[in-house]
Structure 1
Amino acid sequence: MHKEVRLFRGLINPSFFFYQLKDMEDVKGYRKKVFHLVWMSIIVFGLISSFGIGMDPLSKEITTLSPVTYELEKFLFFLGRLLGGLLYAAIILFFCSLIFWTISDEGEYRKLVMTQGVVLLVLLLEQLSYIPLSLFFSLEWYSSPLSLGVITQYVTSKTYVIYLMGSFTLFKAWVFFIQYKGIKRLTGQKNWIIWLVILLTNLFIWSLNALLAYLSISTLL
């Protein structure tokens, strides 16, 4: 089969999507899909930064910086977010796929990247959900009502723990479902191995995300 991969179908009907993906002899349009996904990630991160989301530490320095310096800092922040979008896409698409590929008996790496392409779409939707939460409700990402961060703030005041738990959202549950469907279909591994690798991989990424957020707050406030 040489049909082109339609990633958005993976959001709507993952079972049928991965059935087709497994039967494909070659992943047609692979490079184009990866290119579009990376650019989509960069655009989403750039869009979020254009609303000033995440600029609170810099905004507090507005009275101590000259107008020129402040505008330069804003530009560097925007540029950093664009690079962050690039790195984010690279980690989700290639790093995670590489881990899943290590437990694969028959799954092809490119097909696992396409699986993570569907995952990236879900995660970018999650990123976009932070825009209305920030603009209309003044909520930080870890205080999203769709995450465990809200409940955690009533239990502990430890910043890192709040960030870590705030990383687990309903979108991540969706990610778990897609990853299981895709990896199960493509690798044929045992269920407990698949779930263990999915859990450990995502926990690593959440922990890294929480650590980066914690270090950013700690050094800029």
Structure 2
Amino acid sequence: MLYRVQLFKFFTSIYDHIFRIRQAEKLSNVRKTSTLLILATIIIYGWMAYLGIGSSILSGGVAELGAMEYETSKLWFVIGRMIYGALFAAFLLFIPSLIFYLITEIPYGKLAIMQQVVLAVMLIERLLWIPLALFAGLDWFVSPLSFGIIASYITEIDWFIYFFGAITLFQFWIIWFQYRFLHTLSEVGSRTLWAFILLLHVLGWVLAGTIAFADSYMIGRWFE
């Protein structure tokens, strides 16, 4: 049985597609879909940077820089975000797939499809956040869809706010989806799957918080 990846149709009948992936002997369109998702991530992150989203610290340096230097800084900011988007997409597509492959022995290509769905959902989340950033001035870590806004009332420690800001309603859906996908395609016990999935996500939130903290620190140091 041949399964051809059609990402948008996947969301219309998730259970049916998961079952078809389980039965599939050959997969088609996996590499093309991964490439398109990486390109889409680069475009979205570049567009967000062009709109000035996430550049509040950068904007604070306009008084210290001349007009040409500031425009050059903005250009490098956009390029940096595009590179970050490419690395983020590649990491999300390939690294978790490898980890789950070692745990479940599900064919790597099928796990790559799972992560393609995960990346697509995260890109949708990013697109939904753009109007919140533009019209309400909300940073990603205090989005109403995340727990960062609650954390900001409890603590002023930036890292913790970034950490909880990475935990969103979309993340809960992703956790459920990964469990359903892996549980259907493997014989690994439910408790083991839940443990590995949750551990991987907690590590991801820790990494997101650390990168966001380091990112703001490095941009701030740029203008010292």
Fold-level similarity (TM above 0.5): yes
Matched residue, 2:88: 88
Question: C-alpha displacement at 1:187, in angstroms?
Answer: 2.1
Could you tell me which residue of structure 2 aligns to residue 180 of structure 1?
A: 179
Separation in 2, partners of 1:136, 1:217: 22
Which structure 2 residue ranges, 5 or more long, are not aligned?
none
**2:112 is the counterpart of 1:122:** no
**Cα shift at 1:164:** 0.5
The answer for unaligned runs of 5 or more in structure 1 is: none
Equivalence for 1:48 = 48
Q: Percent identity over the alignment?
A: 35
- The answer to whether the Cα contact below 8 Å between 1:46 and 1:78 also exists between their aligned partners in 2 is yes
Matched with 2:167 is 168
Indicate conservation of the 8 Å contact 1:108/1:186, yes or no: no
Residues 142-153 of structure 1 mapped to structure 2, 5 A cutoff: 142-153=141-152
CA–CA separation in structure 2 for the residues paired with 1:13 and 1:159: 40
1:11 to partner: Cα distance: 2.6
Tell me the equivalent position of 1:27.
27
Post-superposition Cα deviations, 1:37-85, rounded to whole Å, max 9, x if no partner, equal: 1111111111211211011111111121122211111111111111111
1:14-46 CA deviation, whole Å, 9 max, x = no partner? 211111111111111121111111111111111
If the length of structure 2 is used for normalisation, what is the TM-score? Answer: 0.94
* CA distance in 1 between partners of 2:10 and 2:175 (Å): 13
Give yes or no for contact 2:125–2:170 (8 Å, CA) kept in 1: yes
- 1:5 corresponds to: 5
* Root-mean-square deviation (Å): 1.2
| Bigger relative contact order (CA 8 A; separation at least 6) | 1
The residue aligned with 1:74 is 74
8 Å CA contact 1:48–1:128 kept in 2: the answer is no
Contact in 1 for aligned 2:118/2:174 (Cα 8 Å): yes
Alignment size in residue pairs: 220
Q: Once the 2 structures are TM-superposed, how far is the Cα of residue 128 of structure 1 from its aligned partner?
A: 1.2
TM-score between the two structures when normalised by the length of structure 1: 0.95
**Superposed displacement of residue 182, structure 1:** 1.3
- Give how far 1:159 is off: 1.0
